[in-house]
Structure 1
Amino acid sequence: MIVTIKDVAKKANVAPSTVSRVIANSPRISEKTKKRVREVMEELGYYPNFQARSLAAKSTQSIGVIMPNSAYHAFQNPFFPEVLRGISKNAHANKYGIYLSTGSTEEEIYAEVTSMVQGRRVDGVILLYSRINDKTMKFLQETNFPFTVVGRPDQNEERITFVDNDNIFITKQVTKYLIELGHRHIAFVGGSLDFVVTIDRLNGYKLALNEAGIPFNKDYMVHEEFIKDNGKEALKSLMSLDSPPTALVTQDDLIAYEMISHLGDMNIKVPEDISIVSFNNLMLSEHSKPPLTSVDICIDQLGFEATSCLIEKIEKPDTLPKRITIPTKFIERKSCERRQS
């Protein structure tokens, strides 16, 4: 037998409208009444039809979370579970559900987002990446649909709400740190130039070199594509240069772990022969061998603040665009050593 709202009201000795207000968590209803109604709902096995309620309210109480590739590949990178932790915490507190994207390619992601928006399956969208010339972001702008971005937008950043670290500044600082340790041959490893975060970090790296009077050497750049194809061979090519690097700035801790492993196979010791600094400060970083010097970018806070901004845009559509900069912390461990002259 299907339990209705009227059955709950009769059993709890309240009006059906009171049950509706309890479901909506209305402040007009006392906590004592809410407790009694919820106990009856549980006793009778009554589950509110939130889909019908959303249609009536023209709201889904759901947030679309869009990853740069399929969930399968994204979750292999600890960044995404961690940023989702921040999103989930905030969404739950504000009674929003989460709708995860499943697209694997840029085209599939675009098709999925357009379907979400046109079908009104979500109230707003969080993009967990910022891609160069991203048509998904352009579509969200053109349709004036509520969205926020984790990362600095490639274009129109003054008109888009986004949450990010100051990637240019922090990469300049970590590169400067290596320079102050006496390193002048410093490579930049990993990251796709399709994404703004890589470009910003590369620019910070170049700024530090320029200020120190060190020429930029394109041979010291190893892109993500080469690492994916064969990380070990890419590193071998780098270390076979006439003047091989004595330090690496890596895009994230996962790439740093891979580099440390390959260097070990090549009998190159970290930090005695080469220093490594990275980003994300994953849980394993302090337990790696050697413990990894890394920048804590406060991943969960990125997600939490992006969700706050999105909910504000959903509930107050006239909210002006804003940039939220999340502070970072440099965690110095044992993967860097002063260069002996």
Structure 2
Amino acid sequence: MPRHRFTQADVAAMAGVSQSTVSFVLNGSAPAGVRISDETRSRVLEAIRITGYSANPLAQRLAGGRNQILGVFTYETTFPRGGHDFYGAFLNGVEHAAERLGVDILLFTSARVIDGKRRLSRDGWQRLGIADGCLLLGQHEDQGELQHLLDTNYPFVFIGKRVSEGRLLPYIGADYVAATARQVDRLVADDHRRIGYAGLQGSDQSTLDRLAGYRQAMRTHGLPLQFVDLHDVATAAEEIAERGITALLVTPENSPEEIAAALEARGLNVPQDVSMLILGQPLHPVKGSRRWSGFTVPREEMGARALVLLSRIVDRENANGRAQNGQPLDDADLHQILPCPDADGDSFAPATASDRIETEGPIRDRS
């Protein structure tokens, strides 16, 4: 026999009070001018105990103007396959922040996939309405969708630096420019002068920032830019040897183990002959591999800060333009760039005496 689910009306009838009184007792507060006596409160609580009534949490939240649910939407597959885990650290930070804030996280996974990428267009917009706001992650976002969210004033925060007209798009990013430039400085301080950059030269923001950091630092030190194509690592290793490159900045989507093996097959050892610094640490580390020098991306902190910022934006919207703590959100709040700490591994060594050659002539790009 199906069990009868007691309602708030059942509790009110048993206690001899109105449903609004039951609601006030459940919420622990009453409107100004409304007083609930201790005796009435006790009757309501006893009726709740006898019936085993539990409030519908979604209904309670809606009554307060918020669902207390914040969404997460990723433009690429969220869960790792074959050890490929790009989002894990971000989501760990999001989860920890959600626990502190007392909100639930809803992961949106049913959006349409177009050309291998998720899209919010069509029915995706309606699904977002379940949440008070949403975190967005991904390397291949749709600019039109981001602009639509801005136009409709839907609260969201992008995890990763993103630019928009009028700097309206809120984000939590990593300082790839300064971190990459700092790796060049570290190498130059140890007498490296032929420093290559190995990685994609795409149009996504993190790639653009890494490239900007490399270009700026190399020009500051008066050194020529040297780009290495890693589509064929064996060919790349041969090119590194021919150019006499003594240090290599490697972007994290590449396999540093594979590059090191190709260099060793060419008779070059890491780091004695070629130092390797990873611009963000490997996304898919190999068990038992060496500790790579370079810098790390504060992914967990980015996820946590993004959720805190999103919560503040939602509170601001509910408070007619003011954040919950009474302070308006300024540009420093909406556009946060976090430092990337250096990683001291064992893939970095000073240049040998024979390699300490000052480069002369005009700076030029080599690709």
TM > 0.5:
yes
Tell me the residue number matched to 1:323.
335
Q: 1:217 to 1:98 in 2, by over 3 A?
A: same
Are 1:189 and 2:195 matched, yes or no?
Answer: no
1:101 maps to which of 108, 114, 124: 108
Contact 2:277 2:347 in 1 (8 A): yes
Counterpart AA for 1:207: Q
Q: 1:21 to 1:203 in 2, by over 3 A?
A: farther
Q: Which moved more, 1:143-152 or 1:15-24?
A: 15-24
Q: What is the CA-CA distance between 1:202 and the residue it aligns to?
A: 0.8
Q: 1:21 to 1:247 in 2, by over 3 A?
A: farther
Q: 1:97 to 1:21 in 2, by over 3 A?
A: farther
Q: Which SS does the other structure have where 1:240 is aligned? A: helix
Distance in 2 of aligned mates of 1:13 and 1:335: 76
Give the % identical residues: 22
Structure 2 unaligned residues grouped into runs of 5+: 322-328, 355-367
Tell me the residue number matched to 1:291.
291
Distance in 1 of aligned mates of 2:82 and 2:29: 37
Q: What is the CA-CA distance between 1:283 and the residue it aligns to?
A: 11
Are 1:174 and 2:183 matched, yes or no?
Answer: yes
Contact 1:169 1:204 in 2 (8 A): yes
Q: What is the CA-CA distance between 1:22 and the residue it aligns to?
A: 7.2
Matches within 5 A, 1:26-105: 47-57=54-64, 59-72=66-79, 76-102=83-109, 105=114
Q: Which moved more, 1:307-316 or 1:180-189?
A: 180-189
Q: 1:124 to 1:217 in 2, by over 3 A?
A: same
Tell me the residue number matched to 2:119.
110
Bigger Rg, which one: 2
Q: What is the CA-CA distance between 1:133 and the residue it aligns to?
A: 6.6
Q: What is the CA-CA distance between 1:181 and the residue it aligns to?
A: 2.4
Are 1:124 and 2:127 matched, yes or no?
Answer: no
2:6 maps to which of 3, 7, 22: 3
Counterpart AA for 2:102: K
Contact 2:66 2:132 in 1 (8 A): yes
Q: Structure 1, residues 94-124: CA drift from partner, whole Å, max 9, x if none?
A: 2322222335557853336962456612211
Q: Which SS does the other structure have where 1:109 is aligned? A: strand
Contact 1:183 1:339 in 2 (8 A): yes
Distance in 2 of aligned mates of 1:25 and 1:248: 62
Contact 1:71 1:101 in 2 (8 A): no
Q: 1:84 to 1:191 in 2, by over 3 A?
A: farther
Matches within 5 A, 1:166-245: 166-191=175-200, 193-218=202-227, 220-222=228-230, 226=231, 234-241=232-239, 242-243=242-243, 245=245
Tell me the residue number matched to 1:310.
310
Counterpart AA for 2:248: L
Distance in 1 of aligned mates of 2:28 and 2:344: 47
Contact 1:253 1:279 in 2 (8 A): no
Tell me the residue number matched to 1:230.
none
Q: 1:142 to 1:117 in 2, by over 3 A?
A: farther
Q: Which moved more, 1:131-140 or 1:304-313?
A: 131-140
Distance in 2 of aligned mates of 1:191 and 1:26: 58
| Larger fraction in helix | 1
Distance in 1 of aligned mates of 2:103 and 2:181: 38
Distance in 2 of aligned mates of 1:193 and 1:283: 18
Q: Which moved more, 1:308-317 or 1:282-291?
A: 282-291
Q: Which SS does the other structure have where 1:126 is aligned? A: strand
Distance in 2 of aligned mates of 1:116 and 1:279: 35
Q: What is the CA-CA distance between 1:329 and the residue it aligns to?
A: 1.5
Q: What is the CA-CA distance between 1:72 and the residue it aligns to?
A: 3.7
Are 1:149 and 2:147 matched, yes or no?
Answer: no
Q: What is the CA-CA distance between 1:203 and the residue it aligns to?
A: 0.8
Q: What is the CA-CA distance between 1:185 and the residue it aligns to?
A: 3.1
Contact 2:271 2:348 in 1 (8 A): yes
Distance in 1 of aligned mates of 2:286 and 2:114: 34
Contact 1:275 1:336 in 2 (8 A): yes
Distance in 2 of aligned mates of 1:207 and 1:9: 71
Counterpart AA for 1:166: D
Q: Which SS does the other structure have where 1:163 is aligned? A: strand
Q: 1:115 to 1:210 in 2, by over 3 A?
A: same
Q: Which SS does the other structure have where 2:255 is aligned? A: helix
Counterpart AA for 1:122: A
Q: What is the CA-CA distance between 1:286 and the residue it aligns to?
A: 11
Contact 1:65 1:125 in 2 (8 A): yes
Distance in 1 of aligned mates of 2:203 and 2:122: 19
1:335 maps to which of 331, 335, 347: 347
Distance in 2 of aligned mates of 1:128 and 1:27: 41
Contact 1:91 1:97 in 2 (8 A): yes
Distance in 1 of aligned mates of 2:64 and 2:269: 62
Tell me the residue number matched to 1:229.
none
Structure 1 unaligned residues grouped into runs of 5+: 227-233
Two-structure CA RMSD over aligned residues (Å):
4.0
